[in-house]
Structure 1
């Protein structure tokens, strides 16, 4: 890091709020101090870092956690890191080059993320945060495992079968009270004047760690991870076949974000499609071709009816299931290793 900006923000960052979590993405936002709902961190979750605890019989158990909490955030300073002034270390560059030369680069990149982290925030809010949290954890785990999750906080636990309810208060930053139950808010807020009591309470604008690598490695990383499924769906349509051997052009319902991917030449995307006759006619079947206009128009399907040549053509209505998907390289470093194609 060559340069950064440090700004005092006074009381404008003193605010109360509520956070609710019922998904892996939301829990990651909480653990990594992302309280801004506008920040999209869901892609960072897809790197395979899930939620599990080690139970007393040494077996890993998947658990589900639903919780919510109220928080009071006292922000005193904002630290901005300029992306242009952040550089990857030589150690990190060498590890990435070694992964690119391996037999399975994607697996190596998963390990790199575990060793170096997933992202670097370019904005950090400093000072302190108070939370009062409650929730429920379900799954096969012992009360000792739950205590490992809770850590050193003021905690109340209630056990019911394999489900556990909990409620606790947590203080981040500032002078820590001897007993949270007797917290003096005035003294706690007053400790903000001492910068030695400051703490990172919120991260903003995360950037993938691979983004800081030299440009010549960017494309190599993306190509080495392989092709992914950008979109997959099944559409049902009713068609009327009126003329013998006349194909039917079917317009695909393409989401806005997928349209951008299709028009991005760097993605090198392809569309795969199949057609199934739900009416299960014994006299004919259907094939399809993907029409990819060279003038920049969106692709569509050309559907052909293949009829038994020994049967006379008859006008008929048919109901078709049209399955199609868009595959291609990644546009960025938001890798999803669970859907990559080899």
Structure 2
């Protein structure tokens, strides 16, 4: 088996606060005299997919986010996310952030975003991982706020390190009216940003259809439950919509009872372009390589199939053609190298 940490790949579904190392959160909390909930320090968060479970998950996420209070904190999160991705073979990271969450501590949403972008450029130089940014609105807030964020994102649009490459929509899929966020995505699309809303995790194929019809996504964050309706899944494939699939978080949130229930095989068999992502490693205790390990150990993906997953993530990214070509050549080289019988599963 070949070393999955050496497999070049792109990481397209990683949330800013959720990317934090547990040790970093503990240090920030200690500096501020904050007592963290035990669930954030004792191990992997498990929350059923019902409303009560999501509330518990969101409460823990908010507790972690409340510890991020300075420019230095924000820079540390970006820097460590890039370092961790570099160790796992990621050559491209598109990290998602809602700057309104950090704006009160750094002077507004514009400074908040500029801090993340500036550190993304610095982290790219240090680690070799191209770090770009996705600005995301929240379903729990008024759609007018999403428009404001889309206009802000548009000012920094590009495809290179330290630039905004996409616009997303996150939080509980059961909240808000998807159609009301269409205007924000129109603003983003006009600026050349990728549309990358969440959908099809907490809700099923009907919700995926709503997201596609109203927001016209290039990628869907999760989208995994499109597998429940072959017609919807084929529709996504025909439209070229990529899926950012996060197997470990799906199980932690109770979308699927066990790892083996995540329909990776169904999605791949239908011809979907997949980009495996870690989502929120801080809460789910599982990083990028772990998703590939799961595909290998639980779903029986061969190295050739794992290489195809990595290629899918690279193709689905907003990296330049030169960057894509370099990473794809690396995938070919990884696959061409001899496998080792003694290699660890990861």
User: Which TM-score bucket, shorter chain as reference?
Assistant: under 0.3
- Which structure has the highest strand share of the two? 1
| TM-score, length-scaled by structure 1 | 0.23
| TM-score, length-scaled by structure 2 | 0.22
- Which structure has the highest helix share of the two? 2
